[in-house]
Each structure stands twice: as C-alpha cells, then as structure tokens.
Chain A
Amino acid sequence: MSTARYDENPARAGMGAVGALVILLPPALLLFTLFVIWPIGEASWYSLFNWNGLGPVDRFIGLKNYKWAFESAVFQRAIFNNLLVIVVSLVIQLPLALGVALLVAGRAWGSVAFRMIFFLPYVLADIAAGLIWRFMFDGDYGLVAAITHALEMKPVYLLASDPWAFSAILAVVVWKYFGFHMMLYVAGLQGVDKSLLEAAEIDGANAWQKFRHVTLPMLAPMIRLSIFFAVVGSLQLFDFVAALTRGGPFDTTHTMVSFLYYFGVTRMRVGFGSAVGDVLFVVCVAFAWGYRRWVMRDD
C-alpha cells in the first residue's frame, strides 16, 4: 500500500515506510480525533436533546435548542456584538495598524522600540489586560474616575451602562490587538520593492499616489491575512467579557462564546450549549472556508 516517495529500493524502504507510518501518525490522529473531531460531532448530536450532562441522553427535542437560542434576546445581542467587533476591527483597528506600520516600518529613529511597545499588549493574557482595563474604567478608582474627578463631574460607570459597556470592550480589543496587525504590516512593508517606488517618483507621483498605487497593492495579501485573523479572533472573544463585565449590565455585552459559557456551561445545559457551539462552528467554518476559497485564493 505504501511506497516511499524518494525510494530506490522499494521492498526494504516500503516496509520501513509502513512501519514508520504506524508509529508516526497515530498519536496525532488519535488526539485530534478524540478532542477535536469527535466532540464537534457529538455537539451536533447533543444539540438535539434536552440534557443536563447527567444520566442518559434521551429527551429528544429536535431543533428546539436552536429555536430557543435564536429567540433569546441575549443571544441576538451577542451575535450583534460579535459583528460590532468585526466592524470595529476592520474600520478602526486595521487602518490604525496600517498607519502606525507606515511610521515604524523603516529605520527612522525609535522604530524598533515603538514596534515593541505596540506589540507588547498582544503578548499579555486577555484576562489580565481585561482586568487592568476594568480598573481603568472603574467609576470610583481608575482613569475614568480621575477624569470625572478632575472635571468635577459625577462619577461615570462605563461598565454599568448599556450603550457604553460594550464600547469599552471594543476599545480594549483595539488596544490589545492593533500591535499584532501592525507587525504583520511591517513585515509586509519590508517586502515592498523599492525600485517600484522610485519609478513612481520619477513619474511624478505624490506620496498618496505612491501609497495608493504601489504600497497598498503590494500589501494586499498581508491585509487579507490580517482581516482573516481579525474576524476569526473576534468570533472567539471571551476573556475580555469575563474580565470586564461578565456579560453585564443586563446581559448586553455577551459574545457568542460568553453566551455559550454563561448560559450553557455554568448552567450545565449541555444540549443548549452544544447548539450554540454548533452555530459558532458553522459560522467559523463557513467564513474560514469561504474566505480562503474566494478572498485568499491567490495568496
């Protein structure tokens, strides 16, 4: 069945190949199947039952878990919040990252140091960054308190206010992740061909034209990649919610994952939580597959 690709002595090496495969592949395949593929399959199965994780899985309820999820105002809001994160990533975070990348990609004074500073938050755990900002946003003790104090205003509790609490989370997302995207763009910018820029200069192009017609097209693959990470990352957002708001106030700051945790896992509604997980799974797979197929096809 198996033959070594570079084989000149089929009999001996063929035996070796089989032996090698039997040893090399199973650990990875076993772990991957057991903890990734099998559970995701089970999620689809559990999602058809009302099951609290104990006893037999026998209360079949069809697609009701999905119905309950989509009817839940909290889940609808969570999906909306996930979309907001994506929009903010695309409209604010990525342009900011690109702009900063243009400032620090070269050898100008301080570039390396600034790059490191901007990248630093990315290395920290989301949960710690979230708590730090929970303090910053605290109406009594943090940055916000200091500002309102200085302006002699009443304390403002950002994380307790319905429209502002999620904006606070969005700000933390940008604070923490723009440095990562900046670093991707820096890597991309360093690959831009200098001779093209010179040629454009000779043709009399101004800075904007050079950026628009030379730099940007050369960066396109990196931008597509960065968008991919921004979207996938925002779909997984959980730690900031846990650290900053636990979904409050009034369950307005949930994301799909935090909804899954607070309404599925902690309440041990395994069937319901599996349905929510399945929705997340379908969204992620559809996006990842479609994006790779249609947008990143040439990269």
Chain B
Amino acid sequence: MTEAVRLTQAEEIGRPGLPIAAVARLAVLIVLATIVLYPLIATALDGFKSLGELHDNPLGLPRQWDWRNYWEILGGARYWRVLGNSLVIALATVFLTLVVSAMAAFAFAHIKFFGDRYLFAYVQIGLLFPSTAAILPVFIKVRDLGLLDSYWGVILPQVAFALSMAVLLLRNAFKQIPSELFDAALIDGCGYFRFFRHVTLPLSGPILSTVAVIGFVNSWNGYLLPLVMLDSDSRYPWTLGLMAYQGQYSTSWQLVLAFITLTILPAILMFLLAQRYIVAGLTAGAVKG
C-alpha cells in the first residue's frame, strides 16, 4: 500500500523539475502536519507544567520540566488498572470475534445448505445500523442476564456487533481458496474441521489480522458501550478511566493532560511500530467490507 507501482497524477506534483510546485506542496503539507500534530505535542508538554504556568504559557516548552505529574500517575495503580482492563476486554473481544466469525464464515463459504443465502443476509443486517441505536434494550438484556458491570457485559455485545463485518470479510476471503483444494481434501477423507484448521486458517493470515486489527482498535477506543454497562471503576477501561479522572481533577488541566498523554501512549507506540498493518487493516477492512 505504501509503494505506488505506477506513476500517477499525484506524483507529477512532486516531480523534480517543478520546484515551485514542490515547494508549495511541502509548505501545505507542513502546515497541515503542524495542525494535526500540534495538539498532541502540546498535550504531552503541558503535562510537565504547573497550573500557573499553563495559564501564562500554554503553548511553549515548559520553563521547568516537572516530572511529578507523570510519575504520580505512573506510580499509581489507577493508570495500570485501566490499561489492563482495556487490554483484557480488547483481547477477549478480538479472540471471540475471530473464533465465532471464522466458524460461521467457513460454513457460509464452503457448505451449501437450505436457506444459506437468507441466513447470510440475516447476519449482514448488522452492517446497516450502529450498536448505539439499540443501546437501551441491550442494556436491559445485559442486566437480565446478570452481566451488568462485568467484562462480559461489554465483550459479548462488542463481539455481536463486530460479527457482521467480520463474517463478510472472512467469507469473501475463504471463497478465494481454490475449490480443487477443498475437493481433494474431502476425497482424502479430510473432514471439514481438519480442512478448516489445516488449510483455511493458515491461508487466511492477512484477512484474519485485518479483522483482528479492526476489532482491537474499536474495542480499545470504545466508550459508549462500557459507559452504559460498567459501573465499578475497578473494571473501567482507559476511556472511562480518563473521563473519570478528568471529572475528578477538572480544575487541574496539567494532571488531566499528563493522564491523557500516558493513556494514548500505547496506541501511538503501537501505531508507530505496526503502522503498515494497522493502516492496511483499517482501510482494507473498510474497502472490502
């Protein structure tokens, strides 16, 4: 994705020999990049300031680098607890989504049965509306199942709403597996499950990772569902933890900014380390879905 094979019109703009255009291009991009990055950098820097300095000097470098705001957060249980909760919820969501949707997608891709098209269309209904539309009945359902204020109360609805997209992406990918392979396997006495386990899954690494990336990012960044389902701050994921922290220290922006910086740090690090996969996952998922 990051390497263009052909020279496109876009490239002409930056082509050597057009110095004015090239300089203008760079100027525009640098201004935009500043607008995009500046708030993030300022947030990190302002976490080092005192409230007084924040008032007088919100934009510049801290006059005195005060590490206490950061150390206090890193030294407290709260920060690690909310990240841990998010991780547990996101990993469980991804794992369950992969297992459940791969199984269903395999059935839809390789087994012909009565009503298969209708059943597939049924599962696709979830693509038409957001989970938020039914948040109150989902809340009542989760409550009646006794799952309120538990990880499961967040994980299961998240998986259910991730299914439509995941099943679609996986079915389309599984169908690409040559039918000759499937026929040969069946003749050799290889059952559906062995085929699924030993042929389909190993061949589907990229699409499985796409589904995983989408599921992880959505769950990691999710706010409304945990907000409605979770009550105890011991189970808060970081998004809820951040808002609670902001509510508690609303007059001390420097602390809130330090907390924001530290809580978005994992996402930024992940992005820097695995940008190729993340970008590919998030955009490819969108395009193929």
Q: Which residues of chain B are within 8 angstroms of A114 by Cβ–Cβ distance? A: 29, 32-33
Task: Using known A-B contacts A31-B160, A46-B137, A179-B36, determine if residue A104 contacts B29 with beta carbons closer than 8 Å.
Answer: yes
Among residues of A, the one whose C-beta sits closest to the C-beta of B101 is: A28
A: residues with CB less than 8 A from B are 1-9, 13, 16-17, 19-21, 23-25, 27-29, 31-32, 34-40, 42-43, 46, 53, 100-112, 114-128, 131-133, 135-136, 138, 140-143, 145-146, 175, 179-180, 183-184, 186-187, 189-190, 192-194, 197, 207, 210-211, 214-215, 222, 225, 229, 232, 235-236, 238-239, 242-243, 257, 260-261, 264-265, 270, 273-274, 277-278, 280-281, 284-285, 288-289
B123 and A5 within 8 A (CB): no
B: residues with CB less than 8 A from A are 1-15, 22, 25-26, 28-29, 32-33, 35-37, 39-40, 42-43, 46, 54-55, 58-59, 99-101, 103-104, 106-107, 110-114, 119, 122-123, 125-141, 156-157, 159-161, 163-164, 167, 179, 182-183, 186-187, 191-193, 217, 220-221, 223-224, 227-228, 239, 242-243, 246, 253, 256-257, 260, 263-264, 267-268, 270-271, 275, 278-279, 282-283, 286-287
Which residue of B8, B55, B110 has the most chain A CB atoms within 10 A of its CB atom?
B8
B228 and A123 within 8 A (CB): no
A121 to B38, CA, bound (A): 11
Task: Using known A-B contacts A103-B10, A114-B29, A265-B136, determine if residue A6 contacts B4 with beta carbons closer than 8 Å.
Answer: no
A102 and B10 within 8 A (CB): yes
Which residue of A25, A183, A280 has the most chain B CB atoms within 10 A of its CB atom?
A25
A281 to B106, CA, bound (A): 29
Q: Which residues of chain B are within 8 angstroms of A136 by Cβ–Cβ distance? A: 39, 42
18 contacts between A and B (CB under 8 A): A32-B122, A42-B137, A104-B10, A109-B26, A117-B36, A128-B263, A131-B260, A135-B43, A143-B59, A145-B55, A175-B39, A184-B287, A210-B9, A211-B9, A261-B228, A274-B136, A274-B137, A284-B130
Measured CB to CB, the closest approach of chain B to A58, in angstroms, equals 15
A32 and B36 within 8 A (CB): no
A27 and B100 within 8 A (CB): yes
B9 and A192 within 8 A (CB): yes
B223 and A25 within 8 A (CB): no
Q: Which residues of chain B are within 8 angstroms of A19 by Cβ–Cβ distance? A: 192
A277 and B58 within 8 A (CB): no
Q: Which residues of chain A are within 8 angstroms of B141 by Cβ–Cβ distance? A: 34-35, 38-39, 42
Task: Using known A-B contacts A4-B186, A21-B113, determine if residue A126 contacts B223 with beta carbons closer than 8 Å.
Answer: yes
B223 and A127 within 8 A (CB): yes
Q: Which residues of chain B are within 8 angstroms of A43 by Cβ–Cβ distance? A: 133-134, 136-137
A141 and B253 within 8 A (CB): yes
Q: Which residues of chain B are within 8 angstroms of A236 by Cβ–Cβ distance? A: 130, 132
Task: Using known A-B contacts A34-B160, A36-B134, A40-B134, determine if residue A20 contacts B111 with beta carbons closer than 8 Å.
Answer: yes
Q: Which of B43, B267, B278 contacts A132 (CB 8 A)?
A: B43
